[in-house]
């Protein structure tokens, strides 16, 4: 069985969880906690390039970590109602 290594989606998820926990200790606002998780994940994702030789050689980030960032970014946008500004009418209606 393989052991988890730094530079994978697990690293990104751990960073998101730690950032969310820090934010939750300071605020109960879900939008702030979601934002912290998304930012923590994105920062960790960018570091994956330097954590795994195969990613560094290709100049890419971990694909699953990138997918997690998309999910967390969508949750963040939903919790802060940012998605409303990106609809044609600007009020969340199509």
User: Among positive and negative, which fits the CA dihedral 90, 87, 41, 52?
Assistant: negative
Q: What is the pLDDT of residues 8-27, one digit of tens each?
A: 999 999 999 999 999 999 99
User: Among positive and negative, which fits the CA dihedral 62, 67, 71, 73?
Assistant: positive
CA distance 77 to 74: 5
At 82 the pLDDT is 75
At 80 the pLDDT is 87
Q: What is the pLDDT of residues 56-72, one digit of tens each?
A: 999 999 999 999 999 99
């Amino acid at each position: 069985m393989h052991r988890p290594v730094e530079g994978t989606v697990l690293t990104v998820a751990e960073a998101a969880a730690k950032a969310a926990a820090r934010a939750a200790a300071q605020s109960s606002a879900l939008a702030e906690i979601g934002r912290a998780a998304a930012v923590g994940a994105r920062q960790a994702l960018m570091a994956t390039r330097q954590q795994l030789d195969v990613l560094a050689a290709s100049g890419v980030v971990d694909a699953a970590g990138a997918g997690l960032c998309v999910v967390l970014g969508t949750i963040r946008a939903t919790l802060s109602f940012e998605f409303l500004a990106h609809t044609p009418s600007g009020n969340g209606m199509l």
